[in-house]
Every structure is written in structure tokens, then in C-alpha cells.
Amino acid sequence: MGFLITTLIFLVVGIIASLCVRICCNRGPSTNLLHLTLVITATICCWMMWAIVYIAQMNPLIVPILSETE
Amino acid sequence: MGESRGGGCCPPMDLMRSETMQLVQLIVPMESAHLTVSYLGDLGLVQFKDLNSEKSPFQRTYAAQIKRCGEMARKIRFFKDQMSKAGVLPKESLEKESDIDLDDVEVKLGELEAELVEINANNDKLQRSYNELMEYKLVLQKAGEFFSSAHRSATAQQREIESEDSQQAGDDLLESPLLQEEKSIDSSKQVKLGFLTGLVPREKSMVFERILFRATRGNIFIRQTVIEEPVIDPSSGEKAEKNVFVVFYSGERAKSKILKICEAFGANRYPFSEDLGKQAQMITEVSGRISELKTTIDAGLGHRDILLQTIGDKFELWNHKVRKEKAIYHTLNMLSLDVTKKCLVAEGWSPVFASNEIQDALQRAAVDSNSQVGSIFQVLRTKESPPTYFRTNKFTSAIQEIVDAYGVAKYQEANPGVFTIVTFPFLFAVMFGDWGHGICILLATMYLILREKKLSSQKLGDIMEMAFGGRYVILMMSLFSIYTGLIYNEFFSIPYPLFAPSAYDCRDASCSEATTIGLIKVRDTYPFGLDPVWHGTRSELPFLNSLKMKMSILLGVSQMNLGIIMSYFNARFFKSSVNIWFQFIPQMIFLNSLFGYLSVLIIIKWCTGSQADLYHVMIYMFLSPTDELGENQLFPHQKTVQLVLLFLALVSVPCMLLPKPFILKKQHEARHQGQSYAPLDETDESLHVETTGGSHGHEEFEFSEIFVHQLIHTIEFVLGAVSNTASYLRLWALSLAHSELSSVFYEKVLLLAWGYNNVLILILGIMVFIFATVGVLLVMETLSAFLHALRLHWVEFQNKFYEGDGYKFAPFTFIFTANEDE
């Protein structure tokens, strides 16, 4: 559940970012496409990294074993 | 090569492919040639081809002009030298350059140079005389002292001898033996004694004395006195330690020997008279002349400084003008002279979008030079490969330079720079992940960006220049580092439960097994990033290593797939369906049936929490694919799926290797069949200009070469699939190194210092912590992660699709780099 919600949040943030970039630097169709590509790539990279770390912790095989001093 | 290409597959995107370039031919009448080249240089969008490459530099039309410019450049360099020696800085000039004429500048430069050389020569002469007079003065003083002291003791002795009755023989010979001798000798047997005075360098003084002694067989008397301060030597102009010497000799032969030895030792001799009165007179005379010379020298220096100031005012202007003219003449030399000798023909590459601007410039030049005929602009068709030109701004130019450092893109192939703008900082951040360090780097780069204007006009050192040039890349790197730092949950290696409490807790209320069996997961997964409980636990490394290694594989497989998809876009753009069917598809199938499958297994293992051993699964998929999987089963029908994937992978290898050479051969034959019936290329009838660089259409087709090339390509891909995937594990390795270093500095330096409860040790600890963090983590680790991210892009990403054998568009422009001095 948490996974899906956060994925949706990433999606929404990505859409908002591309809209912002389109609004503030609108410089012709080819440049806009470049900006859109960059924003989408950045969003996908960030989401992928978050998703990997999240899924890895969903069903852990190793649990934290505290060290002696704590 | 400009005609048969064309996108059509996807909408055009800035920076993805090179701008369309065209080969243009300009026919310019002679009188407007100079102005035309000047305006085109201002425009900066034409790369001229050298049409006179067979001619030597001396045979070219404008060789004389270039020599002239070279002379002027030499004079300007001379001025610059003189100005820097005198400490005068050239002023920034705001005058417009079009107002000054080259001939005027030449005349002015000649005059100023003659004047400056004369002033310098005079100055040198005066300085030399001054130094000689200073030495003479010292000689007069010291020798005068010696003589007067000898005279005093001689008169004292004389009085003693007169007042005593008994003979005092042989006493105190050193003081005044000569005067005594002189007195006691018969006047008939008078020996003529001469003496020489002068200065000798201190280090040679002992040798000087010895040689004089030996050369004259001991028949001289020499007396030396040390001068305390160093004296400026007239011939060399430098300070040297010297001694004043007086040599008494008898006879002409001895004199000539002494003179020669003085010459050899570089000892300067000065005339000296015995007479006390004359000595005093000489001293006053010399002092007078010294002060006169000083004022003259000062006046001369003042005059020279004024001259240099006037030069300094106009220096930048002249410098720029001369370099501009030289560049223009070099370019004019590249144009070929038409048969009628009335106009010059230029050929060059320029972007298609610049056609209007170029034609504008041509018209303006024709009007401004009052020529009756206008210039002609026409586009030539050619099979040559054009240069590659990307229009970059200050943000994208740094990344484009990084990509170009590996190889400039072939004309119109897909530019990896587009994705590199994001993936390069991202992969850097995966290896660097610490949001504390990220914030430090962000602050540093924000400083560079906010003071951009000021710093870009200054001259920075080499390292600062590189850092300043890459400031936007570093900005992206720092922003992504903050993000990955939040995901790895490291702030100078300290984790914080920023988003929710940790998901782990003790098994029971007493927490007795926390250090043996460990905690259990009681709440929902920590929502953003790594759970903060992990830091410092005993099982941190096994867990993190497994996580980061798998993450590296997943990221790596994604980037490699992106690379192969870029090769698909290239194939579509260049309309090469053989590349799509027999390169792109087999490559995708091979990579994904092996490493894509591994990625899927990783995700399934994480999602289901199965205990399957993925190493075992992958290796036995190859070694014994038909065996039962047993407890390594992650999903139903896994064995069948593995068999199918293995089969696909094995089939795709010959698919990559065999069909393409044969198809290329058939295509070549088909083209060649129709070759002989193709119409002749259109040429301009009025002007016979040959487009240099072979428009011959007969390409060679060596089947064996193509086959070997394809074989190498296939082997490289197949083996590379394994090695490149493993290469991405450096993402894990560097991130582990970074987090370990950072946690060592924190625990062993800062916490240790804190534990002593002593303010001094705490301050010392903080200083060491700061230096270690900045030096090792912020500088060394940044460079290290930068380098590895770069390698991942240059090799693992780009070898899937990038050819990079083009050449860069180098337009003729007047923006000179600071160090250009031809």
C-alpha cells in the first residue's frame, strides 16, 4: 500500500515539475521536448532508487542485530 | 550526406542530433573580400575549408600581409614584456575597434618601439656609468684609508727611528716597509714603484692574490680590504661582494702581467693618485658626478614610465586589432583565386539555420566596401561528412564537453549528452550519497554560480578554472547527492528517523535478544529510504552490501537497455533496417534474457521474501538447465521459463553475427548495379571549382573485412554483457567506501574527542574532523566518484550505440583564448 501511494506521489511530482519547466522556460517545441525528457529521466531515476530501497526492506531476510555497546 | 537522412520517426529534440550542416560556396569580389571575412568572423558560424592546401605558406596570396601582422605582433609582445617588467598594467579599453586603421597602428607601433629601444639603451649606458662611478668612489675611499694609515704609521715610525739611537732592524715590516725602504735606499738606486687599485670579487680574491704572487715571483705587495655591502657590478648589473685591492709592483713586465691577470679575473681597475689633495678632489668630483647621474637616470626612468603608460592605454585595442587582422588574412589565404583574378571563392561548412544571417553579412560587406558587384552564396552538394555542431548554452556545454572528450559524435548520430545531463550526476550521487556532504558541495557551487560574472572575467588557476567551468554539473551532482543521502539516510554518516519511526523493534519487552538474534519488523516499512536502525548494528554490512549490489545491477541493466534503445533510434534515423532486425533486436534479447531476467529475479525475491540463492539459480541455469530447482524456485514454471530464455539467448548470438554481412553485401551489389547509369553530378558551369575531398562514389566493399568487423562487434557485445554488468558493481563499492570513511571520521575523531570532556581536545577534534572531511571526503571522494561515473558513461553506456568518430565544428571567429600567441 505504502509503495503504491509513494509511487503515485512521485508521478504527481514529476508531472508538476514538467509543467513548471514548461511554464517558466517555454522556448520552442524542440527545446521543450528536451526539457521534458530531462525531467522525466530525473523522475524515473529518483523513483527507481527509492523503489529499490523500499522493496528491499519489505520482506527482510536479515534483521538488525545490535552491537554490544548500545 | 545531407539528402538521404531525415528524422520523421520522432519529433526533433534540441541537442539530440547535430544541427543540419551544409557546404556553402561564397564567391566574393576582391574589393569586399576583407570586409566580408571580417563580418563573417563576427558572425562566427562558418568553418572555412582550406582550398590552397597544396601551396606552401610563402606561395599564398596574402603572405606579405601576414608577415606585416607578425611584425606588429612581435612589437606588441615586446611592449607587453617591457610593461610587465616596469609593473604597468594594460588598461581595459572601451573604444570601438572599427575606428582604427591597421596602417596607422603599424606606423605608431614602429615609432613607439624605436623610442622605447632608444630609451632602454640610454638607460643601460647611464646605469653602467653610475655603477662604475660608485665602485670608483669606494676604491677612492678604501685605498685612501689604506694610504693614509700607512702614511701615518710611516711618519710615526720615522719619528720613532729618529728619536731612537739604536737600530731597530726588521721590526714591523708589514706596516711601512716600503717607505722605510725608500728612505734608506740610496737615491742613485731608486726603484720605480707603481701601484694599481681596483675591485675584485670576494670569492676570487684569495686565488687572485696567489696567482699575482706566483706570476710576479713574489715581487709585489698586495693589500685587500673588504667592502661590507654588496656592490652592483657594472657589466652584469647584479650585486656582488667585492674587495678593494692595492697592488704595488716594480717594472713594466710585472705591470703587464698584473694587468692581464686583472682582466682575467674581471677585476675593475681605477686610477688613483698618491697625493692627498688630489684624492680629496677626486672624491668630491666623483660624488658630484654620481648625484648628477642619479638625477639623469631618474628622469630617464620617469620618461619611460610615461611612455609605457601611453602604450598601456591603447595596448588591448591594438593587440586585439592585430590578432583580428592576422586571423582575417589567414582565412583569406584559404580562399582560392578565381581564373579571372577578379574574385575569391570560399568554401565552408555552416549550419542551415544560419543561411539568412550569412547572406545578410555578405550584403552588408558589399555595401560597406562600395563594390559594384554583390557576393554570391550557393549551397553545394557533397558526399563528405559534415562537422558536428551542437548549440549549447552555459548549462549544457559542460556536459557536452565531457561527452566530446571521449569522442565527437558522428554527424547526426544520437548524442549521449542528452541523457548524460541527468544520469551522470545521478550515478555520481549513488556513489556519494550523504546529504550532509551534498549540502557542503551545494554551498560551494552556489558561491561559484552566484559570482559567475565576476569570476568569468578573471584569470583563475588551472584547477579553479576546471571547477568553475563545471559548476552546473557540480550543482546537479550536489542536488542528487542530497537526494541519495536522504535515501541512504546518512548525514555525515549519522542516520535520522526523519520520515517515520524505525520499522524495527525488540522481540519482547526485555530486549534480551537484541544483540544475539536481533530485532524484528513490527511496523510498516520505513517509507523513504533506509531504516535508521541499521547504522552501527552487527548485521549492517551484510544487509547493505546485498542491497547495494542488487541496486547496482538493476541500475546498470537499466542504463544498458537505454543504450541499446538509443541504437534503435539511430537505426531508425539513418533508415537502416538491417541494424534494427539484426543488431538491435538480438542485442535486446540477449541482454534481457540473461541480465534482465536476473533483475526480475531480484525483484521477485525481494517482493516475496524467498530465501532462494540467486547465484545458484543463475549459474545452474547454464550448467544444468534441466535440473529441478527445489528450494530455489521463485515462481511457478521457472524451469520452463529459464529454458526458453537460455534458448533465446543462444539463438540471438548467431543472429547478431551472420545475417548482417551478407545483407550488406547484397545491398552493395544492388547499389553498384545502378551506379553506372546514374546521371552526372550537377556543377556550376560558369566557375570551374572542384569540391575538394573526393566526390567519387565508388566505395570499396571488402566482405571479409565486414565479416570480421561484425564478428568483433558480436564478441564484444556478448562478453561485454557480463563484464559491463559486473562493472556497475563499482556503484556499490564506492558507496560503501564513502559511508565507511565518513563513519570512521565521525566515530573515531569526533566522538572520541567528545569523550574526553576537555574543551581543547574537543576543538582539536573538530578541526581534524573538518580537515579530514573536506580533504578526503569532499575533494578526493568527489573526484573519485566523478571519475567512476564518467567511466560508466563512456564505456558501459556509450559502447552500446555511440560511434563518436566525427569532428567538431570549428567556426571562424574572433573570440580569442587568452593564451593565443601565434
Q: What is the complex's ipTM, to 2 decimals?
A: 0.96
Residue among B13, B524, B525 minimizing CB distance to A34? B13
Chain B interface test: which of A26, A63, A69, A70 (most B C-beta within 10 Å) = A63
Contact A64 B537 (CB under 8 A): yes
> For residue B441, what pLDDT is reported?
95
CB atoms B551 and A6 under 8 Å: no
CB < 8 Å to A60, chain B: 521, 543, 609
* Closest residue in B to A38 (Cα–Cα): B422
Distance between A39 CA and the closest CA of chain B, angstroms: 9
Residues of B in contact with A68 (CB under 8 A): 515
Q: Say which of A38, A58, A68 has its CB closest to residue B515.
A: A68
Q: Which residue of B has its CA nearest to A62?
A: B543
| E strand spans, B46-151 | 47-48
* pLDDT of res. B80: 86
User: Structure pTM?
Assistant: 0.81
Per-residue pLDDT tens over the stretch B261-283: 888 888 888 877 777 788 888 88
Question: What are the residue ranges in chain B where pLDDT is below 70?
Answer: 1-9, 92-99, 163-191, 674-699, 816-822
Cβ-defined contact of A55 to B517 (cutoff 8 Å): no
The single-letter code of the amino acid at A10 is F
Cβ contacts (< 8 Å) between A62 and chain B: which residues? 539, 542-543, 546
Select from B426, B519, B536 the Cβ nearest to the Cβ of A67. B536
The percent of residues above 70 in pLDDT, for chain A, comes to: 97
Q: pLDDT value at position B280?
A: 83
Predicted confidence at residue B692, as pLDDT, reads: 41
Across the interface, whether the CB atoms of B11 and A46 are under 8 A apart is answered no
Q: What is the dihedral of CA B79, B82, B87, B90, to 10 degrees?
A: 0
Q: Are B555 and B561 in contact (CB under 8 A)?
A: no
Instruction: Please tell me the distance in Å from A32's CA to the nearest CA on chain B.
Output: 8
Q: Show residues of chain A in contact with B543, CB under 8 Å.
A: 60, 62, 64
- What angle do the packed helices B276-334 and B33-43 form, to 10 degrees? 90
Neighbours of B672 (CB within 10 A): 13
Q: What are phi and psi of B5, to 5 degrees?
A: -90, 175
Mutation site for B-interface testing, chosen from A4, A18, A43, A57 by largest number of B Cβ within 10 Å: A57
Q: Which residues of B touch A67 (CB under 8 A)?
A: 515, 536-538
Q: Using CB atoms, pick whichever of B421, B484, B504 lies closest to residue A38.
A: B421
Q: What is the pLDDT of residue B157?
A: 81
Q: Which long-range contacts (CB under 8 A, 24 or more apart) does B657-660 make?
A: B657/B710, B657/B711, B657/B714, B659/B578, B659/B581, B659/B582, B660/B578, B660/B579, B660/B582, B660/B583, B660/B710
pLDDT at B782: 94
* Chain A residue with minimum CA distance to B517: A65
Compute the nearest-CA separation of B632 from chain A (Å): 15
Contacts of B537 in chain A (CB under 8 A): 64-67
Write out the three cell numbers for B514.
537484541
b/e burial code for range B64-84 (CB count within 10 A of at least 16 → b): ebbebbeebbebbeebbebbe
Q: Is the Cβ–Cβ distance between B798 and B563 less than 8 Å?
A: yes
Of B12, B426, B546, Cβ closest to residue A45: B426
- Candidates B521, B604, B631: best to mutate against A (most CBs of A within 10 A) is B521
User: Would you call A64 and B504 a contact, using CB atoms and an 8 Å cutoff?
Assistant: yes
Contact yes or no for A62 and B531 at CB 8 A:
no
Using CA atoms, how far apart are residues B21 and B353, in angstroms rounded to an integer? 9
CB contact under 8 A, B516 and A30: no
- Cβ separation of A30 and B11 shorter than 8 Å? yes
Best probe of the B interface among A45, A50, A70, by most B CBs < 10 A, is A45
Residue/partner pairs of B8-14 with CB below 8 Å, 24 or more apart: B9/B569, B9/B572, B9/B573, B10/B569, B10/B572, B11/A29, B11/A30, B11/A33, B12/A29, B12/A30, B12/A33, B13/A30, B13/A33, B13/A34, B13/A37, B13/B418, B14/A30, B14/A31, B14/A33, B14/A34, B14/B391
Residue B148, pLDDT score? 79
Min Cα distance B12 → chain A (Å) is 6
Rounded to the nearest angstrom, the minimum Cα separation between A44 and chain B is 10
Residues of A with CB under 8 A from a CB of B: 2, 6, 29-31, 33-34, 37-38, 41-42, 45-46, 48-50, 52-68, 70
**Closest to B433 measured CA to CA, from B489, B495, B502:** B489
Chain A residues touching B608 at Cβ < 8 A: 59
CB < 8 Å to B603, chain A: 55
Cβ-contact B22, B379 below 8 angstroms: yes
